[in-house]
């Protein structure tokens, strides 16, 4: 390991030629190499910056920053797409924690869908607000649903899927992402045993047959 005096000596002995600018060129090369090596560490930060600049928001409102869980036995959708985006909280939100008021999420869009045995819960600080619907013979129905999640799981099946498509060119759903944003779309999607950890959602139509809402000590079963 080099001592501080060695480092100082090396820096002092770097040749500089005002006419050729050799030291400046070497400095630029070092900066390029450092930039390449730093890509993995800065990828997420750069993605956040790009998404912020482009305004790639699937949900056009300030989120509370309190996540909510959605589970379902089954989701059937016609017209499906996903793309990365960034959700924002209000300035100095009490829920921002160490996020800086921004949450990197995946926006899932369903043009027309049916949700069987849906449960939604949000932790209000020691007690859960739980909503259930579609547990009988009639499932929940949605149109132009866009939901922002940072975690999704289940058993999924897609029909005619396109992976890696530019999110601004989607043609199977009415909602697009920003130019240059990675996305995927499919004609249809079926997800069984669905679990989502969400921050926001919008829908043109959201029909909830058999709606029941109550406060409970536990949230939706996972």
Q: Cα–Cα distance between 87 and 83 in angstroms, integer?
A: 13
- The mean-pLDDT minimum among 58-62, 69-73, 109-113 falls in 58-62
Paired tokens of 155: 């058993």
Q: What is the mean pLDDT of the chain?
A: 82
Q: Helix or strand or coil: residue 178? A: coil
CB atoms within 10 A of CB 185: 24
116: β partners: 74
> Taking Cα atoms as reference points, which of 92, 89, 84 lies closest to residue 57?
84
Phi, psi values for residue 167, rounded to 5°:
-65, -20
User: Does the pLDDT at position 161 exceed 90?
Assistant: yes
Q: Cα–Cα distance between 95 and 99 in angstroms, integer?
A: 9
pLDDT at 2: 43
Mean pLDDT across 69-74? 98
Q: Helix or strand or coil: residue 98? A: coil
Q: Cα–Cα distance between 88 and 86 in angstroms, integer?
A: 7
Q: Cα–Cα distance between 198 and 120 in angstroms, integer?
A: 10
pLDDT band at 21 (very low <50, low <70, confident <90, very high): low
Q: pLDDT tens digits for 83-126?
A: 999 999 999 999 999 999 999 999 999 999 999 999 999 999 99
pLDDT at 13: 47
């Amino acid at each position: 390991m080099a001592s501080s005096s060695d480092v100082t000596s090396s820096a002092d002995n770097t040749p500089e030629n005002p006419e050729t600018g050799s030291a400046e060129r070497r400095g630029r090369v070092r900066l390029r190499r450092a930039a390449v090596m730093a890509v993995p560490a800065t990828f997420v930060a750069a993605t956040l910056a790009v998404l912020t600049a482009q305004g790639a928001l699937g949900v056009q409102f300030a989120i509370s920053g309190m996540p909510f869980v959605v589970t379902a036995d089954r989701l059937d959708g016609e017209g499906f797409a996903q793309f990365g985006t960034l959700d924002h909280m209000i300035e100095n939100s009490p829920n921002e924690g160490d996020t800086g008021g921004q949450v990197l999420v995946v926006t899932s869009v369903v043009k027309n869908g049916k949700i069987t045995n849906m449960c939604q819960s949000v932790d209000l600080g020691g007690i859960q607000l739980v909503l259930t619907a579609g547990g009988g013979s009639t499932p929940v129905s949605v149109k132009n649903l866009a939901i922002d999640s940072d975690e999704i799981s289940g058993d999924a099946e897609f029909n005619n899927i396109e992976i890696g498509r530019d999110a601004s060119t989607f043609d199977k759903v009415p909602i697009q992402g920003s130019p240059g944003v990675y996305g995927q779309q499919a004609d249809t999607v079926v997800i069984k045993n669905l679990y989502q950890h969400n921050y926001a959602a919008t829908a043109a139509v959201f029909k909830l047959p058999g709606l029941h809402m109550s406060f409970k000590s536990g949230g939706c079963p996972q």
